[in-house]
Amino acid sequence: MDNKVSASPRGSYRKFLEHLSGAGKAIGVLTSGGDAQGMNAAVRAVVRMGIYVGAKVYFIYEGYQGMVDGGSNIVEANWESVSSILQVGGTIIGSARCKAFRTREGRLKAACNLIHRGITNLCVIGGDGSLTGANIFRMEWSGLLEELAQDGKIDNEAVQKYAYLNVVGMVGSIDNDFCGTDMTIGTDSALHRIIEVIDAIMTTAQSHQRTFVLEVMGRHCGYLALVSALACGADWVFLPESPPEEGWEEQMCVKLSENRAQKKRLNIIIVAEGAIDTLNRPITSEKIKELVVTQLGYDTRVTILGHVQRGGTPSAFDRILASRMGVEAVLALLEATPETPACVVSLSGNHAVRLPLVECVQMTQEVQKAMDERRFKDAVQLRGRSFENNLNTYKRLAIKLPDDKIQKSNCNVAVINVGAPAAGMNAAVRSAVRVGIADGHKMFAVYDGFDGFAKGQIKEIRWGDVGGWTGQGGSILGTKRILPGKYLEEIATQIRTHNINAILIIGGFEAYLGLLELSAAREKHEEFCVPMVMVPATVSNNVPGSDFSIGADTALNTITDTCDRIKQSASGTKRRVFIIETMGGYCGYLANMGGLAAGADAAYIFEEPFDIRDLQSNVEHLTEKMKTTIQRGLVLRNESCSENYTTDFIYQLYSEEGRGVFDCRKNVLGHMQQGGAPSPFDRNFGTKISARAMQWITTKLKESPGKGKRFVSDDSICVLGISKRNVLFQPVAELKNETDFEHRIPKEQWWLKLRPLMKILAKYKTSYDVSDSGQLEPVRHRGGPEEPAAI
């Protein structure tokens, strides 16, 4: 793109990457503190983005220790030094705790080592301790240089030339204990490890009617414990921020025995390693085991997950998060001036944002202070709205009040799955059923979509019926793509027969079309004048009104895992290019994000038309790549990206054009993308968004206590979705204009802005709109007025 700055529709000026140059700058990248999966993806993004803009990038091995020791610990990196590390857990440049850096002498040595290589930009990936250290270093920088000049270790010219140090941090920590950011790098992968273990333990516990006490990491933060309890429907959870009330021992035993009485064959109790009671005394997993054995006599086992949680390959979410943050960190360093305070690149909703480092660290330390002073309510609030919502949702779903304590609403609410199956649908149904019952409604399950609705396959569903549903893939209620249009009479009759006062639809684009048809039928059939809300659930992530849908994360992880294996196979054979076809209909979300997470060379999607010249340039690009040490290629193609450039056509073209340089293989992933156990993200997202939908239904029904009220306004038939940073209910009538019905996709899709990232990281010259970045934002408590999008 020649024009570096062009007018945007909003009349402001758009800023492109081309006018940010890194020429003459040197960036040092280090990982410090505890390791986390996804750190390598961040290192890769920093190195490649740095080189792309013309800067020199240096690895600083072994964290601050390497900076203090210098020598071979600080090495210039090139494009190929970060090849094949995207899928590797931990950090390839090492991490170490460093006592020397805590002293001024240590920092003096570190400054001297950086100056000799001209490094005045630091990108630090670590926890709050590592980031605080970097900030102290930045504050002392000019003083350190003067001292080095006095000692004759550097000359005065160097003092002038390297007068200030820029610092940008990224938070790599599996605990998700850093305030200001929704998700830290490594958290999602750690949840994957925990959930894999819990799923495995559940099968053995079921066989023996056992109780399992699982201890997960989190000395000061209960995020992992809380979210894994939410994602597996644990019976009880212990967190440092929210200790159990006095007399919890008895309450817990009553809860466990009630569950057994309801024919539940297993109990799962999750404990954060830093769990405490209200007097700040530790609650250990052994103590809980003893209690269960002595009070109830249940066969009880303890499993301490330990460092398994830090290991293994990073999830798709963490790879994309880390890649986005790494690119944003380089942009922040390029734009920094001597006056810019040290910042942290973080995630808010699905936006990368920059926050002042010092304030984030202070807020993180305030949580610990509140816990030490036994102000637990404050601690939960300081953790942010997302944490608080997780806690409230968990409590509502785990503990059922006795029937006589629940105020009856005398309303019947139906839950239905529509469209293709998506992992996480069952978690959404469970959550809706339990929240509905807690709100006093009678819940009805509709089996087999609108088809089953018309045939009267409708049954009341109770609290216990949905136990253990969160971890199940597919759709237990059964789902079909059939639309309600042909069966309006029959469905209206069923609504009348079962006296249904509200409908929750969980599904994909068919569910959206179905909602539109039901909305249009309101004039003819007054039965449809009830509140209706749709929760998006489809692997394609193509529902208008929401940036994310249930099931897409699980599909993305399936694609990423498969690509990892295929890349390994291609590396072994050398000079091989794989062409992989993904699902998604006309929506390129899976191909594009899968390409970013798997480190693909290209991803063909419908939203960005391509022609034979583009295919030709991709082949030339791969031919060049085969001359380097990275002798393999990976190309993703969305199933409907082009009518004529089919997977076979592209495979044949690449085979012919690459003859003698590389050979080609193709692979169609197919329906494996719809199957499998839901990922932690999808379990959680399904649980929370569905609970939110039921709250909306309850509010609507309360507005009309009488039986006679008809809901006819547009805002009584909505799609619930996440848009940017907020959870929104949007009337289907308004979403019509935002929909491309022919291709079944929204007219505007947020993830297209990330498309240049994949190209830059695959060494293509491209234009990247960086207008969104740049401003340092104030630190808010996590979330804002609305619940934040990240789970």
What is the 3-class SS of 573-641, one letter each residue?
Answer: HCCEEEEEEECCCCCCHHHHHHHHHHCCCEEECCCCCCCHHHHHHHHHHHHHHCCCCCCEEEEEEECCC
C-alpha R_g of the chain: 27
Burial 230-258 (b: 16+ CB within 10 A, else e): bbbbbbbbbbbbbbbeeebbeebbebbee
C-alpha 520/C-alpha 678 separation (Å) is: 34
C-alpha 182/C-alpha 345 separation (Å) is: 11
Residue 61 lies in a domain: yes
The answer to whether 308 is a known ligand-binding residue is yes
pLDDT at residue 166 in the model = 96
Contact by Cβ (8 Å): 533, 711:
no
Residue 180 lies in a domain: yes
Query: Do residue 664 and residue 690 come from a single domain?
Result: no
- Tokens at residue 635, please? 């190309």
Picking from 674, 694, 716, the residue at the C-terminal end of a domain is: 674
* Residue with the larger pLDDT of the pair 11 and 53: 53
User: Does 48 have pLDDT greater than 90?
Assistant: yes
pLDDT band at residue 14, thresholds of 50, 70 and 90?
low
Query: Do residue 44 and residue 180 come from a single domain?
Result: yes
The answer to whether 743 is a known ligand-binding residue is no
The answer to whether 6 is a known ligand-binding residue is no
The answer to whether 385 is a known ligand-binding residue is no
The answer to whether 34 is a known ligand-binding residue is yes
Residues 6+ apart with CB under 8 A from 146: 159
pLDDT at residue 458 in the model = 98
pTM exceeds 0.85: yes
Average pLDDT, integer, range 556-579: 91
Residue 772 lies in a domain: no
Average pLDDT, integer, range 336-362: 90
- Arithmetic mean of pLDDT over the chain: 92
> Can you say how many angstroms the Cα of residue 552 is from the centroid of all Cα atoms in its chain?
11
The answer to whether 175 is a known ligand-binding residue is yes
Give phi and psi for 668, each to the nearest 5. Answer: -105, 120
pLDDT tens string 468-490: 999 999 999 999 999 999 999 99
User: Does 773 have pLDDT greater than 70?
Assistant: no
Burial 453-474 (b: 16+ CB within 10 A, else e): bbeebbeebebeebebbbbbbb
C-alpha 132/C-alpha 361 separation (Å) is: 7
pLDDT band at residue 780, thresholds of 50, 70 and 90?
low
pLDDT at residue 7 in the model = 33
- Tokens at residue 226, please? 């809380």
Rounded (5°) CA angle 107-163-48 = 80
Residue 76 lies in a domain: yes
Q: Which amino acid is at 559?
A: I
Query: Do residue 302 and residue 450 come from a single domain?
Result: no
Which among 307, 225, 302, 240 has a CA at the least distance from the CA of 267? 302
Query: Do residue 107 and residue 61 come from a single domain?
Result: yes
pLDDT at residue 125 in the model = 97
The answer to whether 295 is a known ligand-binding residue is no
Average pLDDT, integer, range 86-105: 94
C-alpha 346/C-alpha 286 separation (Å) is: 37
| Residue of 35, 69, 151, 175 with catalytic role | 175
Query: Do residue 153 and residue 192 come from a single domain?
Result: no
Query: Do residue 155 and residue 221 come from a single domain?
Result: no
pLDDT at residue 766 in the model = 83
pLDDT at residue 774 in the model = 63
Give phi and psi for 32, each to the nearest 5. Answer: -140, 160
The answer to whether 146 is a known ligand-binding residue is no
pLDDT band at residue 326, thresholds of 50, 70 and 90?
very high
The answer to whether 301 is a known ligand-binding residue is yes
Picking from 691, 707, 737, the residue at the C-terminal end of a domain is: 737
User: Does 782 have pLDDT greater than 80?
Assistant: no
pLDDT band at residue 348, thresholds of 50, 70 and 90?
confident
Query: Do residue 533 and residue 578 come from a single domain?
Result: no
pLDDT band at residue 401, thresholds of 50, 70 and 90?
confident
pLDDT at residue 384 in the model = 86
* Residue with the larger pLDDT of the pair 572 and 625: 625
The three-class DSSP label of residue 459 is strand
Q: Which amino acid is at 456?
A: G
Contact by Cβ (8 Å): 759, 600:
no
- Tokens at residue 304, please? 């301490």
pLDDT at residue 400 in the model = 87
Domains: count for the chain: 4
Tell me the sheet residues that pair with 603.
Answer: 636
Query: Do residue 299 and residue 324 come from a single domain?
Result: no
The answer to whether 1 is a known ligand-binding residue is no
The range of the structural domain enclosing residue 602 comes to 554-674
The percent of residues above 70 in pLDDT, for the chain, comes to 95
pLDDT at residue 438 in the model = 96
pLDDT tens string 128-146: 899 999 999 999 999 999 9
Average pLDDT, integer, range 601-612: 96
Average pLDDT, integer, range 390-418: 93
pLDDT tens string 688-710: 999 999 999 999 999 875 555 78
Helix (H) or strand (E) holding 337: none
The answer to whether 281 is a known ligand-binding residue is no
The answer to whether 639 is a known ligand-binding residue is yes
Query: Do residue 546 and residue 432 come from a single domain?
Result: yes
Query: Do residue 169 and residue 32 come from a single domain?
Result: yes
pLDDT at residue 83 in the model = 93
User: Does 124 have pLDDT greater than 80?
Assistant: yes
The three-class DSSP label of residue 733 is helix
Average pLDDT, integer, range 539-566: 96
* Residue with the larger pLDDT of the pair 186 and 675: 186
Residue 491 lies in a domain: yes
pLDDT at residue 572 in the model = 80
Residues 6+ apart with CB under 8 A from 629: 80, 83
pLDDT band at residue 570, thresholds of 50, 70 and 90?
confident
The CATH number given to whatever domain includes residue 213 is 3.40.50.460
Which among 747, 746, 749, 754 has a CA at the least distance from the CA of 773? 754
| Range with lowest mean pLDDT among 169-173, 339-343, 382-386, 551-555 | 382-386
pLDDT band at residue 121, thresholds of 50, 70 and 90?
very high
Q: In what order do the strands lie in the sheet with 532-536?
A: 458-460, 442-446, 412-418, 502-507, 532-536, 717-723, 726-731
The answer to whether 186 is a known ligand-binding residue is no
pLDDT at residue 462 in the model = 95
pLDDT tens string 668-680: 999 999 989 999 9
Query: Do residue 155 and residue 43 come from a single domain?
Result: yes
pLDDT at residue 707 in the model = 56
Q: Which residue has the tokens 């940036």?
A: 547
Average pLDDT, integer, range 230-242: 95
Residues 6+ apart with CB under 8 A from 369: none
The answer to whether 718 is a known ligand-binding residue is no
The answer to whether 121 is a known ligand-binding residue is no
Average pLDDT, integer, range 331-356: 90
The three-class DSSP label of residue 475 is coil
Average pLDDT, integer, range 318-336: 95
Average pLDDT, integer, range 584-612: 96
Any catalytic annotation for residue 614?
A: no
Give phi and psi for 221, each to the nearest 5. Answer: -135, 130
Average pLDDT, integer, range 24-44: 96
pLDDT at residue 788 in the model = 43
Given CA atoms 278, 281, 285, 288 in this order, what sign does their dihedral have?
negative
Helix (H) or strand (E) holding 63: helix 63-69
Residues 6+ apart with CB under 8 A from 251: 244, 245
pLDDT at residue 9 in the model = 35
pLDDT at residue 328 in the model = 94
The answer to whether 217 is a known ligand-binding residue is yes
Residue 56 lies in a domain: yes
The answer to whether 127 is a known ligand-binding residue is yes
C-alpha 63/C-alpha 66 separation (Å) is: 6
What is the 3-class SS of 133-144, one letter each residue?
HHHHHHHHHHHH
In DSSP notation, 369-380 reads HHHHTT-HHHHH
- Tokens at residue 585, please? 């209909």
pLDDT at residue 171 in the model = 95
Picking from 737, 757, 779, the residue at the C-terminal end of a domain is: 737
The answer to whether 674 is a known ligand-binding residue is yes
The CATH number given to whatever domain includes residue 542 is 3.40.50.450
* Residue with the larger pLDDT of the pair 2 and 372: 372
Helix (H) or strand (E) holding 278: none
pLDDT at residue 5 in the model = 32
The answer to whether 585 is a known ligand-binding residue is yes
Helix (H) or strand (E) holding 301: strand 300-304
Residue 113 lies in a domain: yes
pLDDT at residue 185 in the model = 96
Residue 619 lies in a domain: yes
Rounded (5°) CA angle 387-388-391 = 90
Tell me the sheet residues that pair with 442.
Answer: 412
The answer to whether 721 is a known ligand-binding residue is no
pLDDT band at residue 726, thresholds of 50, 70 and 90?
confident
Mean pLDDT comparison of 241-250, 258-267, 342-351, highest-scoring range: 241-250
Given CA atoms 727, 731, 734, 736 in this order, what sign does their dihedral have?
positive
In DSSP notation, 181-250 reads -S--BTHHHHHHHHHHHHHHHHHHHHHHT-EEEEEES-SS--HHHHHHHHHHT-SEEE-SSSPPPTTHHH
Q: Which amino acid is at 713?
A: S
pLDDT tens string 267-295: 999 999 999 999 999 999 999 999 999 99
Contact by Cβ (8 Å): 67, 113:
yes
Query: Do residue 320 and residue 304 come from a single domain?
Result: no
